[in-house]
A = this chain, B = another copy of it.
Amino acid sequence: MTSSSINVAVIPGDGIGPEVIAEAVKVLRSATASADAELDLTEYKLGAEHWLATGETLTAQTLEKLRAHDAILFGAVGAAPGDTRIPSGLIEREMLLKLRFSLDHYVNLRPSRLYQGVASPLGNPGEIDFIVVREGTEGPYVGNGGSLRTGTPHEIATEVSINTAHGVERVVRDAFRRASERPRKKLTLVHKHNVLVYAGHLWKRTVEAVAAEFPEVTHDYLHVDAAMIFLATDPARFDVIVTDNLFGDIITDLAAAVTGGIGLAASGNINMDRTAPSMFEPVHGSAPDIAGQQKADPTAAILSAALLLHHMGFAEQAAKIEQAVENDVAARSATPRTTAEIGDAIAAAVS
């Protein structure tokens, strides 16, 4: 008899997705077995390859099936850059973003930590250990735009960023809560309210209001351009960053770069109300250039699996994986290992 069970949908996707997810699954199996939990996995074939074969991105039926799971483990999607058969951005929007929006993943959680033994491109990085809480369901990502007189010299193209008190408040409160549970208890709002007045002021007012609920958390504000400078010159200043969907996209890739690359950056697309399954995915893309060669680093996918376990209430197992990754990364030598070798080592360490 097992004490509990988790029913996970697995979407390996394209490129290096299947390789890194195979290792994340290995580690998940190992961690749940040691916790005496039952792990139920269902694989879903979705992504660019699937679209080429079937013409489907994400059907209503598949979406309903996915809703029935406790959580989703996601690899990466996207065609090779030169592949003109797939309309650019189609899979990203009709599949990945559709999942984030339909399943109300309003907390896009992206931890940034410089592990010991990992080289940062910064000469003097300091101790980097912060999390970015990126809003995941609105902002400039809503797909609300259009173009008029397309392809003529009179074309006008618009993109509308939509921001709601409901959407901003819930993610800001989540960020404050996370800040209150961290040793430094410091939150930084990143926006551009001197130019994006309406959205910016909604964010700023909301942070001021929610701050009153968390007197133990200090908070400050940075324009996104100033945040760039700090990320390059003093990333150790950050503890919790809360920001909108697009700024979060930009900040987290830079954060991944300064902490040694996107081979290590994990993320969770989290529905904190648990009205739908949350989805955990490495920040990196499908990297078609190295796909199928066992060259990809599965660490980001493995750390995403740890976030999944944490969200599902297995905090101890999640911590165990994080510790195993920390040890593995610290011991890495110049001799490259295959994707599977890294996965095997970490899976063994958590068993």
Q: CB within 8 Å of B: which residues of A?
A: 88-89, 92-93, 97, 119-124, 140-141, 143, 145-147, 149, 151-166, 169, 192-202, 204-205, 224-226, 228-229, 231-233, 246, 249-250, 252-254, 256-258, 261-262
Chain B, Cβ-Cβ closest to A247: B250
**Distance between Cα atoms of A197 and B253 in the complex (Å):** 20
Given A192-B246, A232-B257, A257-B233, residue A146 in contact with residue B224 (CB < 8 A): no
Task: Report copies per complex.
Answer: 2
Least distance between A80 CB and chain B CB atoms (Å): 14
**Minimal beta-carbon separation of A58 from chain B (angstroms):** 16
Whether the pair A157, B198 counts as a contact (CB closer than 8 A) is yes
Contact status B228-A93, CB under 8 Å: no
Q: Are A198 and B122 in contact (CB under 8 A)?
A: no
Chain B min CB distance to A154 (Å): 6
Q: Out of B159, B225, B228, which one reaches A196, CB within 8 Å?
A: B159
From B122, B157, B197, contact of A121 by CB (8 A): B122
B89 A197 Cβ-Cβ under 8 A: yes
26 residue pairs A–B, Cβ–Cβ below 8 Å: A88-B193, A88-B194, A89-B194, A93-B194, A93-B195, A122-B123, A141-B195, A145-B198, A147-B201, A154-B164, A155-B164, A155-B165, A157-B164, A158-B161, A158-B163, A158-B198, A159-B163, A159-B198, A159-B199, A225-B252, A225-B253, A228-B253, A228-B254, A229-B254, A229-B261, A232-B257
What 5 A-B pairs have minimum CB-CB distances, sorted nearest first? Answer: A89-B194, A225-B253, A123-B123, A155-B165, A232-B257
